Amino acid sequence: MLKNSEFIDKLRSSGLRPTKQRLKICEVLFNRDKTFHFTINDLAKIISAKLNEKISLATIYNTVHAFKNKGYLKEISINSDKSYFDTNITNHHHFFDEDTNQLIDCNKGDIETINIKNNITGKKINSVEVLIKVASDNQNQK
């Protein structure tokens, strides 16, 4: 459970002014035990359910992108409908449950380190991500 003043320091230290809106969003995103995977719409719903004041959708987009640019969030590509964001900014892989549309972190041990033997000439590797799509075992396909 981080305190408000800790979020203020965090924001200031990355050149972001600690506004009321950003602090609320920090609370929602970072006062958690576990990784939080969310879409902008998920976040907007949580905010409007929990808060007395409301935050405009534009601000939610702006803030999430600012946090991503500062390295406090990662963006995950699952499908082309919408963006997913992730409070776990370490290198890690995902399960995606196609029944529930939930992203789940792979733990170290779920999957071995990926070893890239040949890279494209003249390019450097920025990220390596594995996405494992899963669905109900006992069911027929659509």
Partner DNA sequence: ACATATATTATAATTATTCTAAACTATTGA
Partner DNA sequence: TCAATAGTTTAGAATAATTATAATATATGT
User: Interface with DNA by CB under 7 A: which residues?
Assistant: 12, 15-22, 39-41, 53-59, 61-63, 65, 80-83
Under 8 Å CB-to-CB from 134, ≥6 apart: which residues? 95, 96, 97, 98
Quick one: what does residue 55 bind among Zn ion, Mn ion, DNA, none, with the CB cut-off 5 to 8 Å set by partner type?
DNA
Q: Is 135 in the site for a second copy (CB under 8 A)?
A: yes
DSSP three-state, residue 99: coil
Structure tokens at 63: 């803030």
Interaction residues for a second copy, span 64-123 (CB under 8 A): 75, 77-83, 95, 97-99, 104, 107, 109-112, 114-120, 122-123
Q: Which residue pairs from 64-69 have beta carbons closer than 8 angstroms and sit at least 24 positions apart in sequence?
A: 64/25, 64/40, 66/16, 66/22, 67/25, 67/29
Supply the minimum distance, in Å, between the C-beta of residue 133 and Mn ion.
Answer: 13
Residue numbers of the site for Mn ion (CB under 5 A)? Answer: 79-81
